[in-house]
Amino acid sequence: MLAPGTATLLLSVLCGLPLGAGAPRPVPIVGGEEVKASEWTSVVAILSQESKSTASLCTGTLVAPRVVLTAAHCLSHEPDLAVMRVVFGDSIYTKDQTRVATVERYGVYPTACVENCKADAYDFGYVILAQDAHGIDVVPPLTTQDEWDETMHVGAEIHVVGFGTVRDGESDALQTTDDVGHKRIMTTPIDSFSKSRREFRAGGEGQDACGGDSGGPAFVRLASGEYRLAGVTSRGVRPCGTGDSVYGVPYPILTWLREETGADLLPGDCPDGDCVVMAEPDSGCAISHERASLAWALPLLVFARRRRQTRSSPR
């Protein structure tokens, strides 16, 4: 599907014009498929046009009527509020202005790592919409021990949703409006956890997040059929689809999110957010210090802004 990396998005993308020409349309996403506008409605695109010649793209998840959870590195370049937009639906190219929201403010986790990060980067940020979003099915985060134990283990499937590119812009710079800006989903198993269990890795073998998917959700499905938000797309390897991406678990930062935004996503019987025991993984399942040094931790920026990425160490 998408890969938490970065690609090139020109201003013309926002006008629906091609970024390139003559290239055949690839298989949607890096190993994923397109999503209808009526599906995964809480997943949004975050657009930031910094000047007439630049633009950026990330993904986020609506977790409260005015609160979008995303990655810190999507906001670390301090985009201009006046030009930021949050887009609902299945494409950033929508002409329906009722699907486009303005932004009141945003913030990032105080100790977030946004460049050359090791394990447990705390790569979380939020965007506050200027008005409430209505008619959106919000998927709550994992907040109970039972749900954690059921879904958060090596081999469990995650469903990653985002608006990012379907191919790696750095290895193939030619991008078109078919390649980027459309909501897509891919399903892949969890491969490993960090020692603290605050991050997990998933992807590879042609299934991955990519440029523009940063900040987007990784959902898990309970036996009841309900979905929960289990991760936020943080960073990955280059080129997209050749290795795992890293996802931050939002549960440990929910008290901070409540203090910053007023959105209380914790259960009433655990207001301090300390009721879930995120046990150590089995031997051999933790993310090593070297392997966790992954690359694509910056949003999709045009021209002058180049992704500050580092490859993962040889395996």
Distance CA 76, CA 79 (A): 8
Distance CA 124, CA 198 (A): 12
145 or 35: which leads in pLDDT: 145
Please give the model's pTM, rounded to 2 decimal places.
Answer: 0.79
What pLDDT shows up at residue 211? 83
DSSP state of 65: T
What pLDDT shows up at residue 283? 42
What pLDDT shows up at residue 176? 62
| Residue 90 reports pLDDT greater than 50 | yes
pLDDT tens sequence across 27-48: 334 445 666 667 899 999 999 8
Where do the structural domains in the chain lie, given as residue ranges?
27-301
Distance CA 195, CA 115 (A): 20
Distance CA 19, CA 34 (A): 20
222 or 211: which leads in pLDDT: 222
Q: Which amino acid is at 53?
A: S
- ∠ CA 55-59-293 to the nearest 5 degrees? 95
Question: What is the residue-averaged pLDDT of the chain?
Answer: 78
What pLDDT shows up at residue 38? 73
How confident is residue 13, by pLDDT bands cut at 50, 70 and 90? Answer: very low
Closest CA to 164 of 308, 312, 305, 28: 28
CATH 2.40.10.120, domain 27-301, yes or no: yes
Dihedral sign for Cα atoms in the order 4, 103, 260, 90: negative
271 or 310: which leads in pLDDT: 271
| Residue 19 reports pLDDT greater than 90 | no
What pLDDT shows up at residue 192? 95
What pLDDT shows up at residue 6? 35
CB of 183 closer than 8 Å to CB of 2? no
| Residue spans of beta strands (DSSP E) within 194-269 | 199-203, 217-221, 227-235, 244-248
